[in-house]
A and B are shown apart, each in its own frame.
Chain A
Amino acid sequence: MPSNNSKGNILIVDDTPENLRLLVGVLNEKGYQTRPVPHGKLALSAAKLNPPDLILLDILMPEMDGYEVCIQLKADDKTKQIPVIFLTAVNEVLDKVKAFAVGGVDYITKPFQVEEVLARVETHLALVAAHKSLAAKNEELAAKNIELDSTLQQLKNTQEELIQSAKMAALGQLIAGIAHEINNPLSAITSSVANIAAFWSDRLLKYPQFLQKLSPLHQEYFIYLLKQINQKTPSLTSREERKLRSSLAAQIETCEIENASELASLLAIVGIKDIEPLLPLLRDPESEYILETAYQFANVQTSIRSITTAAERARKVVFALKKYARYDNTGNKISLQITDGIDTILTLYNNQLKQNITVIKNYQDWLPSIWCYPDELNQVWTNIIHNALQAMDYRGTLTIEVKEEDGNIKASFTDSGKGIPPEIMPKIFQPFFTTKPPGEGSGLGLDIVQKIIDKHGGKIEVESVPGKTTFTIFLPLKTL
C-alpha cells in the first residue's frame, strides 16, 4: 500500500543517470516518492532497508545485471513480494521469458513514453494495493473463522449440556413417577401386613371362645358368612361398593331393622348381596357381634388380596425398570421388537394413564425385530407419549399402531388432544421451541427424538387436526 501519504514509494535502478533523472522527474511530478539508485548492489540494500512498493529495474547493468538483482530480491522474504518492472532498450534483445521467470511482473521499453511508464506503474501499484488489502482481509477472515469455530464449539458444548440436562430432567420426572409407582404398592403391602398381624394378635386367640359361645344356629350363620367371604367378587371399585352398601341398607330398612347403615357396611365388606337368607340373624340382637367377627375375617381376605395385587403391581414396575435400564452403556445395536420398549414406557407411565386415558394398542402380529439402540428408542417413546398425554391434558385416547410397511417398522402415536396449530407446526422440531410455560419444557424433546431417529436411519412425520394428532416414526428394517 502506498506509504507516507504519497501515491507510492518507487525504487528506480538504472546505471544511466539520464534515465534516472527522467523517471524521477516524471514520477515525482505525479506524486510518487522515488529513490534512484545507479547499480544492483545498492538497489538490493536499499530494498532491504526500506522495502518500496514497486521497483523499476534496468536489465543491462555492469557488475550485476537486472535478472540477478531480481533473483536476489525474490530470494529474500523481506523483498520477494515487491513487484519488479524491468526496463529495457528497444534494441536490446529482451529475454521476456527470462524476465518473467526470474519474477518480473512487467517490462517497459526505452526510450520511455511517459504515458506508458505512468500507466504501468499505476497498474502495478494498484495491484500491490489490492493484493495487500486482500491479504489483510484474508487475515481478518481467518481470525473471524477461528473465532466462529470456537463459538460454534462452545454452542455445541452448551447444546450437549442442555440435551444432557433435558435427559436428566426427563429421567428425574420418570424416577419421581416410579417412586410413586413403587411406594403405593409398598404402602398397601405394609399396611395390609400390619392389619393381618393385628388380626392375629388381637382376634385370633379369642376366636375359639367366640365360636364356643355361639348357638348351633348362629354357628351355621357364621359359617355361611365365611363362605360368602370366600366367594366374594374381588375388588369392587369404591363406587360399586357404595352402591351395594346403599342397596343393602335399603333392604335392611324395609325389614325395619335398626342400624341399617352400620350393618350394611359390614355386610358389603363380607360380600353379601342379598340379605334374605340372613334376615333371622339380622333381627337377633347378637347379630352385630357375629357380623363384626365375620367382617374381621373379611378384612384378612381383603388384606391378602391387596398384598397380591400390590406385589404384582410392584413386580411389573420393577420389570419395566429393568428393561428400561438394561441396555444402557453398551453403545451397541441390539435386535429387538420395538413394541417391547413402547410397552415398558406405558408401564412406567401407568399412574398417569390409568384413569382418564384409554390406550388402544394395535400391534401387528409377528412383527420383525430391528437392530436398534433400545435405550435411545425408549427416550423417543417417552417423549412422544409424554407429549401426547400433555396435549390431551391427561384425558382422552392414545392409539398406538405398530406394523411393518415397505421395509420399515412404522409406529404411529395418535392422541385425541387439541392438536398442533398450523403456524407452529414448522417449529416443533426446532431445538428450544416449546409451548410449555417457562421452566417446564426444555424445548429439546422433539429435537432429541429427531436426532435419535436420524441415528437409526429413520424418519418422523406429524399430522395434526384438532382432536387427532399423529406422530409417525419409520425405522428401516435393514440398517446400514
Chain B
Amino acid sequence: MNQKNSPKPVILCVDDEVSVLQSLRIALRNGLGDTYFYEIAESADEAIEILIDLEGKKVPVVAIISDWLMPEMKGDEFLINVHKKYPQIVKIMITGQADKSAIERAKTYANLYDCVSKPWSDRILIETIKSALEQ
C-alpha cells in the first residue's frame, strides 16, 4: 500500500442485489488489483450519496458500473443524472435485460462507454473497464 497521502481512485458498483454486488466487487479486485478502491451501492440514491461523500473527501471516482433494471431509478436515468455533475467518470452499464432505447439514451446523454450483459464474463468485464480507464 504505497499511496499514503493521496487516496486511491474509486470504482463504484450499483446494483439492487447485494449478492451481485459482492461477487462483482471480488471479481473487480481479482482482475484489477488494489490500485483501486471498490465501493458498492444498492440503489441509485445510495450511489449518489457516496459520490457526494467522496467528492467532499476529495477522493476521485474513476468509474461507475451500474445495473439497468433497478426499482425507483433505472440505470440510464441514474447515469444521465451522474453525467451532468460528473462528466469525467467512466460509465459502464451491466444488465440482464438490455433495453436498447435505454442504452441509446445512456450513450447519448451520459457518454456510456459500454454495456456488459449479465451474467457477465469476468474477463470481458475487466477488459472493458481497463480499456475504458485507459482512455
Contact = CB atoms under 8 A, between A and B. Distances in A.
Partners in one complex: yes
A136 B97 CA distance: 64
A238 B118 contact: no
A258 B18 contact: no
Interface of A is mostly: helix
A425 B103 CA distance: 38
B106 interface: no
B84 to A, nearest CB: 22
Interface residues of A, number: 46
Nearest to B18: A235
A195 B72 CA distance: 30
Interface in B27-42: 27, 30, 34, 37, 39-42
Interface string B15-35: 111111111101100100010
A265 B30 CA distance: 15
Given A191-B24, A238-B42, A354 B119 contact: no
A191 B119 contact: yes
A239 B22 CA distance: 13
Contacts of B66: none
B97 A183 contact: yes
B87 interface: no
Nearest to A178: B97
B72 A356 contact: yes
A355 to B, nearest CB: 4
B96 A184 contact: yes
A236 to B, nearest CB: 8
A185 B20 CA distance: 7
Contacts of B41: 238
A303 B96 contact: no
A362 interface: no
A371 B100 CA distance: 43
A186 interface: yes
A258 B4 contact: yes
A390 to B, nearest CB: 13
Interface string B50-90: 10000000000000000001111000000000000000000
A112 B43 CA distance: 106
Contacts of A355: 16, 43, 70-72
A195 B96 contact: no
A374 B49 CA distance: 45
Contacts of A184: 15, 17, 20, 96, 118
A228 B24 CA distance: 23
Contact of A195 (B21, B23, B46): B23
Contacts of A354: 16, 71
A394 interface: yes
B22 A302 contact: yes
Nearest to A189: B119
Given A187-B118, A352-B71, A259 B97 contact: no
Contacts of A288: 1
Contacts of A238: 18, 21, 40-42, 46
A259 B4 contact: yes
Contacts of A186: 96, 118-119
B71 A187 contact: no
B97 A265 contact: no
Given A186-B119, A195-B27, A394-B71, A180 B97 contact: yes
B127 interface: no
A309 to B, nearest CB: 5
Interface in B92-106: 96-97
Given A239-B46, A262-B34, A394 B72 contact: yes
B118 A351 contact: no
Contact of B7 (A188, A195, A261, A306): A261
A120 B54 CA distance: 108
A261 B37 contact: yes
Interface in A373-407: 394-395
A430 interface: no
B27 A194 contact: yes
Nearest to A190: B119
B46 A187 contact: no
B19 to A, nearest CB: 4
B40 A180 contact: no
A233 interface: no
A198 interface: yes
A191 B122 contact: yes
A52 B43 CA distance: 92
B129 to A, nearest CB: 14
Which residue among B17, B30, B69 has the maximum number of chain A CB atoms within 10 Å of its CB? B17
A265 B7 CA distance: 13
A79 interface: no
Interface string A208-245: 00000000000000000000000000010111011000
Nearest to B69: A180
A192 interface: yes
B119 A179 contact: no
Given A194-B27, A261-B7, A394-B71, A237 B18 contact: yes
Interface of A: 176, 179-180, 182-192, 194-195, 198, 235, 237-239, 241-242, 258-259, 261-262, 265, 288, 299, 302-303, 305-306, 309-310, 313, 351-357, 394-395
20 contacts: A176-B97, A179-B96, A179-B97, A183-B96, A183-B97, A185-B17, A186-B96, A188-B22, A189-B119, A191-B119, A195-B23, A195-B26, A195-B30, A238-B18, A241-B40, A351-B69, A353-B71, A355-B71, A355-B72, A356-B72
